[in-house]
């Protein structure tokens, strides 16, 4: 994604590949307070040439807390099961909004597409 100035404000521009890539997730069996297993994730529009998917989770209500993420080798799968990678799961004192982002990386580690989804927990 790049930002292009237009009439005094920035406009987000995406590549055609990243505009087609999408992801979603459900908390599923995620247990409150630092469940180390990632939630079940669905993917679509992952571009050809993707070798690795790199995930990161951010608590939008406490963005300084480091939840981390993980990487998964990509072989064309449309879903990732609960626990596909390890991270530090949610443990909010009250419901918080979480955003999981994914980067599709080619064999050299270059980002060729991105997607993200948000969901409240619990």
* pLDDT one-digit tens code per residue, 74-101: 999 999 999 999 999 999 999 999 999 9
pLDDT at site 19: 60
**C-alpha dist (Å) from residue 92 to 33, 67, 107:** 8, 12, 36
Q: Show the domains of the chain with their CATH numbers.
A: 15-121 (3.90.280.10)
**Which pTM value belongs to this model?**
0.82
Span 21-43, pLDDT tens digits: 999 999 999 999 999 999 999 99
Residue 49 has pLDDT above 70, yes or no: yes
Residue 108: count of CB within 10 angstroms of its CB:
6
């Amino acid at each position: 994604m790049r930002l292009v100035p237009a009439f005094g404000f920035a406009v987000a521009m995406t590549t055609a590949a990243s505009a087609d890539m999408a992801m979603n997730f459900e908390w599923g069996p995620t247990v409150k307070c630092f469940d180390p297993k990632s939630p079940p994730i669905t993917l679509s529009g992952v571009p050809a040439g993707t070798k690795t998917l790199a995930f990161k989770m951010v608590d939008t209500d406490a963005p300084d807390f480091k939840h981390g993420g993980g990487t998964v080798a990509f072989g064309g799968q449309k879903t990732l099961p609960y626990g596909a990678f390890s991270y530090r799961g949610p443990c909010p004192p009250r419901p918080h909004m979480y955003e999981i982002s994914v980067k599709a990386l080619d064999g050299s580690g270059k980002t060729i597409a991105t997607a993200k989804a948000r969901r409240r927990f619990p």
